[in-house]
Amino acid sequence: MTGLTPLITIVNAITGVVLVDNEEMEEIGSGFYRYDFPINDGESDYVIKCDGGDTLPANERYNLSSSSPSGEILDISSRCDDIKTAMDNIYISTQKKI
């Protein structure tokens, strides 16, 4: 355990509404942390800031991220299946034409 108590802030990227304001995260080991975000509706974009605390150097203190709706991820996944299907129908030969 690191002994740090990072704080997380989550903001709706479209409306600017702060949904989580400097709440503590739970360490799960080896410097990794988690936060249960039950407000996530799967349809909104969020920006996330994690603050490791003032005991860290300035270049290590903050971690910024964003999250997009899960529907987009499903859409990308379905497109990959379409590409695989198309690729499965391409015939490639190593024989030389004369």
Q: What is the DSSP letter of 74?
A: H
Per-residue pLDDT, 83: 52
First to last CA, the chain: 68
| pTM (predicted TM-score) | 0.65
Sign, CA dihedral 53-4-37-45, equals positive
Over residues 62-90, the pLDDT tens digits come to 988 888 765 444 444 445 555 555 556 55
Spell out the domain ranges in the chain: 7-88
The C-alpha atoms of residue 24 and residue 76 are separated, in whole angstroms, by 33
Q: How far is CA 76 from CA 18, 69, 82, in A?
A: 28, 12, 10
